[in-house]
Amino acid sequence: MSTTKKPGRAPDRAAALAQYRRRAKVYDFEMAWFEPIRRDAIAELALKTGDTVLDVGCGTGLSFALLQQGLGGGGRIVGIEQSPEMIEQARQRVARHRWTNVSLLCSPVEAAEIPVMADAALFHFTHDILRQPEAIANVVEHLKPGAHVVASGLKWAAPWAWPLNFFVLPAALHSVTSLEGLGQPWDRLSERVGKLSVREALMGSVYIARGTLAS
């Protein structure tokens, strides 16, 4: 199956599964450079003890430790990940840390049977998911009024910063199956959540978008 990425092409689930099957064992190493963005994104969730948070496209569970810190040992984390290889790494992480408040769902986000109404949702480097209205809808339908929603990831830098996009392009080709929407990856999330506050990092090549679901 061809996995060639075109600007207007919709996300391809089969290509994504193959992509993350290859990356599962080295994913943590590959993402190390972006850990400051992860920390900032999770801080924007403003979690409190007792909160329930959805980690959408949780991958290998790299966000779990920081989410646990925000929850203060209470609350609950529900990780959603469609790649069996990635979620197996997440399961091993949960077992190593003996976390008893983490539930893992191996499912495409749009089809996930989310068993909770959550106080917050994190979409960290999940561009393909953010381009699927059905996936966003399923998450938002399982959020409480006033829930905090944060998305972060790669984006095209401004046209005048075209040399920077030589960094964005290979990074995106390595981690997404569609370049569609890379100018404003948060726009479909904003349609469901409402106005998002967006700030850029790494000279405009990365974003963190934060919003609050209407009460």
Is 70 exceeded by the pLDDT of residue 1?
no
When the pLDDT of each residue in the chain is averaged and rounded to a whole number, the result is 94
Beta strands 143-154 and 76-81 are unpaired
Domain segments of the chain: what residues? 13-212
Please state which of the ranges 4-13, 38-47, 173-182 shows the lowest mean pLDDT.
Answer: 4-13
Residues 121-134 have a mean pLDDT of 98
Least confident of 7-21, 59-73, 105-119: 7-21
Tell me 152's DSSP state: E
What pLDDT is stored for residue 68 in this prediction?
97
Which residues lie across from 121 on neighbouring strands?
54, 149
**pLDDT for 59 beyond 70:** yes
Cα separation, 155 vs 55, whole angstroms: 20
Confidence band of 8 (pLDDT split at 50, 70, 90): low
Question: Is 44's pLDDT higher than 80?
Answer: yes
Residue 205's pLDDT band (boundaries 50, 70, 90)? very high
Residue range 80-101: mean pLDDT, rounded? 98
Q: pTM for the whole thing?
A: 0.93
Q: What is the CA radius of gyration of the chain?
A: 16
Range with the largest mean pLDDT of 68-77, 155-164, 181-190: 181-190
Distance CA(182)–CA(153), nearest Å, equals 10
The CATH label, of 1.10.510.10, 3.30.2130.10, 3.40.50.150, 2.30.40.10, for the domain at 13-212 is 3.40.50.150
190 pLDDT above the threshold of 50: yes
The Cα-based distances of 84 to 20, 23, 88 in angstroms read: 9, 12, 6
